[in-house]
């Protein structure tokens, strides 16, 4: 009896390892970088959404993100920590979306640049970026600065997901540089 059980245990362990590998969490892997030394990019993945937290000290920068493992999540967001957004460019495939958020508040102004032509777009466009200004978050003060500085939460447009791209680039300019 013990001989049969002893033979069965390694088989059971092997099957458990194989099943665990098949059921592994499909967390996507990304490679992110910037040509500027003062840009810090960190990503987090939760519930089918990836958020790239980008900290830009001088307010002018760029970032390139590329999917290197897994599948592109259903929701891709960028939280850009700048005080204002004079200019933002999102480039993927053959599309460049240009956006700005007025410093006095109001809706973002967006355009698409494709095939050498620039066209105004609105919220009904599949290229529209959802850009939400987020105020500084209280909860702690470090040398007079809020614990979490102001930022913009940018959600990739419908066309981004339909195009099935694995790489995109951002360039930005803050109002308050």
**Is residue 2 in some structural domain?**
no
CB atoms within 10 A of CB 16: 10
What's the predicted TM-score (pTM) here?
A: 0.79
Q: Rounded CA gap, 60 and 39, in Å?
A: 9
**Is residue 9 in some structural domain?**
no
Q: Which stretches of the chain are DSSP H helices? A: 2-22, 158-162
**Is residue 1 in some structural domain?**
no
Paired with 42 in beta bridges are 53
Q: What is the pLDDT of residue 159?
A: 97
**Is residue 5 in some structural domain?**
no
Q: What is the pLDDT of residue 76?
A: 97
**Is residue 93 in some structural domain?**
yes
Total domains present in the chain: 1
CA distance readout (Å), 174 to 11, 49, 102 = 60, 26, 11
Q: Rounded CA gap, 168 and 157, in Å?
A: 12
**Is residue 57 in some structural domain?**
yes
Q: What is the pLDDT of residue 146?
A: 54
Q: What is the pLDDT of residue 176?
A: 64
Query: 114-132: per-residue pLDDT in tens?
Result: 888 999 999 999 999 999 9
117: DSSP letter: E
Tell me the pLDDT band of 17, cut-offs 50, 70 and 90: very low
Domain boundaries, position 137: 28-173
Q: What is the pLDDT of residue 23?
A: 43
Query: 135-163: per-residue pLDDT in tens?
Result: 887 655 445 555 677 899 999 999 999 99
């Amino acid at each position: 009896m013990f001989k049969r059980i002893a033979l069965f245990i390694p088989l059971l362990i092997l099957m458990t390892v194989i099943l665990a590998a098949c059921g592994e969490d499909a967390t996507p892997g990304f490679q992110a970088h910037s040509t500027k030394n003062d840009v810090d990019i960190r990503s987090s993945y939760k519930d089918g959404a990836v958020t790239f937290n980008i900290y830009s000290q001088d307010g002018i920068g760029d970032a390139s993100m590329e999917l290197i493992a897994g599948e592109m999540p259903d929701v891709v967001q960028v939280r850009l920590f700048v005080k204002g957004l004079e200019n933002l460019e999102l480039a993927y495939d053959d599309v460049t979306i240009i956006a700005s958020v007025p410093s006095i508040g109001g809706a973002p102004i967006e355009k698409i640049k494709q095939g050498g032509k620039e066209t105004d777009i609105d919220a009904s466009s599949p290229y529209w970026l959802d850009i939400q200004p987020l105020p500084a978050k209280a909860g702690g003060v470090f040398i007079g600065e809020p614990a979490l500085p102001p930022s913009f939460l940018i959600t990739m447009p419908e066309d981004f997901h339909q195009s099935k791209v694995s790489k995109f680039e951002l360039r930005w300019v803050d109002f308050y540089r």
